[in-house]
Amino acid sequence: MDKFDRIYCLHQVLESHHTPVSLDTICERLECSIPTAKRLIREMRDYLNAPIVNKRGEGYFYDRNISFQMPGLWFNAGEMQALLAIHSMMSHIGPGFLDEHIHPLIRRIEKLLEKASPETLFDWSRFRILGMACRKPELPVFPLISYGLLVRKKIRISYHGRERDLVTEREVSPQRLTHYRDNWYLDGWCHDKGGLRTFSLDRIRKVSILQHTQKEIPVSELDEHLVGAYGIFSGRAQHTAVLRFTAAMSRWVADESWHPEQQGRFREDGTYELKVPYNNPTELIMDICRYGPEVTVMAPPELRSGVAERLRRAALLYD
C-alpha cells in the first residue's frame, strides 16, 4: 500500500468510527509502522486541515463538530485504475458520446494515478473488447434523450420502424435507457399508442424536448412490463420454455444467464434442463437455434414447432 492509498484508508477508518481508533488498529489497517502512521496523521492535519483529535490512552478520531470532506475527487490507486478500465469499456459500448465531457476527467485521473503510483503504467492495449456482429451507429440523439429522461420532460421523436419501413411521429415520456446486446434502447410511455414501448435509439431520426412534464411510471410497473419477458421484447411473460441441452453443452449453459427468473437443473443422464419465461418468442427462437443439435425444445409445443420450422428453412438453403 503506497502513501496515497494509506491517506485514503486512514480517512475511511476515521470516518467510519464514532469512537477513538487505537494507533495499533490504524497501523494494522494501513499496513505501516507507528512512525509512518503518525506522519500521515500529521500531514492530513497540516495539508488537508483534517480535524483529527488524539484522545490520550484511547486513540484518534474526527472532531464531529467540524465539517470535513476530502478535497476534490479522492480515489485510491485501485479505484482510479478501475475507473479508467470502465472508461475503456464504455468507449467500445457506444460511439463515444460522453468523450467530450469525460476526457478532462480522465486526464485528471491519469495525473493523480501517476502521483499515487508512479510504478503503474496504465496501458489501454491491455484491455480488449470484441463486438462481434454488433451495430456501431452514430447516436446524435443520445444527449437530448438522456437530458429529457433526467429532467423528466416529454420528448417528440421521429421513429423509423424496420419491420414496416415507416417513419412515425411519437410523443414519448422517457422512463429508462437500456443498453442491450451492443445497442441502446429507450423505454418510454408512448402517448400516441397509450402504452409502454421500447424504441431503438439507432432508429430515432429526430428528437425535441417538450415543456410538458413527463408521465411518470413506477419502477415496479416498468419491471413487470419490460423485464418479465425474454430479451428486449416487452410484455408480461405468459409462457415457459423448457430446453434440454446435451451433456457436452450442459456445463457451459449452466453458467449462462438467459433470464432473471430462469430455473435450471442437471439431470441424471448429464443433460441440463433450463426453464425460461417468455412472451414474444422471436428472440428466444434465435438464441435456441444458435445451439443447433445441442438443444431440444421440450415445451411448449408451439415453441418447439417454431424452432423446428426455422431450422427446416435454414436446412433448405443447403439442399
For every residue of 250-311, DSSP letters joined together read HHHHTT--S-TT-EEEE-TTS-EEEEEEESS-HHHHHHHHTTGGGEEEEE-HHHHHHHHHHH
Mean pLDDT for the chain overall: 83
Tell me the C-alpha distance between 70 and 117, whole Å: 19
Give the containing element (helix H, strand E) for 120. Answer: none
Tens of pLDDT along 261-286?
899 999 999 999 999 999 889 889 99
The one-letter code for the residue type at 62 is Y
Q: What is the per-residue pLDDT for 319?
A: 78
Between 56 and 5, the more confident residue is 56
Query: Residue range 58-66: average pLDDT?
Result: 92
Among 33-37, 73-77, 209-213, 228-232, name the one with the lowest average pLDDT: 73-77
Q: Is 189 exposed, middle or buried (0-12, 13-18, 19+ CB in 10 A)?
A: buried
| Within-domain flag for 231 | no
Task: State the residue range of the domain holding 264.
Answer: 239-316
Report if residue 41 sits inside a domain: yes
Buried b (16+ CB within 10 A) or exposed e, 15-39: eeeeebbeeeebbebbebeeeebbe
**148 and 203 together in one domain:** yes
Domain termination site, one of 194, 226, 258:
226
The reply to whether 98 and 23 lie within a common domain is no
Which H or E element spans position 201? none
Q: For residue 268, how many C-alpha atoms fall within 13 Å in the half-sphere facing its CB?
A: 0
CATH number, domain at 28? Answer: 1.10.10.10
Task: For residues 187-200, give the mean pLDDT.
Answer: 91
In the listed set 35, 62, 89, which residue is the last one of a domain according to the structure?
62
pLDDT above 90: residue 75: no
Q: Does the pLDDT of residue 76 top 70, yes or no?
A: no
Average pLDDT over residues 211-225: 85
User: 284 with 221, same domain?
Assistant: no
Predicted local confidence at residue 294, as pLDDT: 96
Note the pLDDT of residue 155.
95
pLDDT 10s digits, 82-108: 666 666 665 555 545 556 666 676 676
Mean pLDDT for 157-165 is 88
271 domain residue, yes or no: yes
150, 196: one domain: yes
pLDDT tens-digit profile of 227-251? 667 777 666 788 999 999 999 999 8
End-to-end CA distance of the chain: 65
Domain count, the chain: 4
Whether 116 has a pLDDT exceeding 60, the answer reads: no
Q: Is residue 304 part of a domain?
A: yes
Average pLDDT over residues 1-19: 83
CA distance 78 to 206: 41
Query: Who has greater pLDDT, 18 or 54?
Result: 54
Element (H, E) at 33: none
Question: At 177, which CATH number?
Answer: 2.30.30
DSSP letter, residue 21: B
**Torsion from C-alpha of 79, 139, 130, 162, nearest 10 degrees:** 140
Q: Indicate the pTM of the whole model.
A: 0.58
Tell me if 67 is assigned to some domain: no
Whether 167 and 222 map to the same domain: the answer is yes
The whole-number pLDDT of residue 284 equals 93
Other C-beta atoms closer than 10 Å to the C-beta of 91 total 16
Question: How high is the pLDDT of residue 228?
Answer: 66
Per-residue pLDDT, 173: 95
Q: Do both 171 and 206 map to the same domain?
A: yes
Tell me, yes or no, whether 151 lies in a domain. yes
CATH number of the domain to which 287 belongs:
3.30.70
Q: What is the mean pLDDT of residues 113-125?
A: 58
| Cβ atoms 242, 297 nearer than 8 A | yes
Q: Looking at residue 7, what is its pLDDT? A: 85
Share of the chain above pLDDT 90, in %: 44
Looking at 163, 194, 226, the residue that finishes a domain is 226
Residue 163 lies in a domain: yes
Flag whether 72 is in a domain. no
Note the pLDDT of residue 146: 87
Same domain, 246 and 296: yes
The verdict on 306 and 279 lying in the same domain is yes
Quick one: pLDDT at residue 202? 87
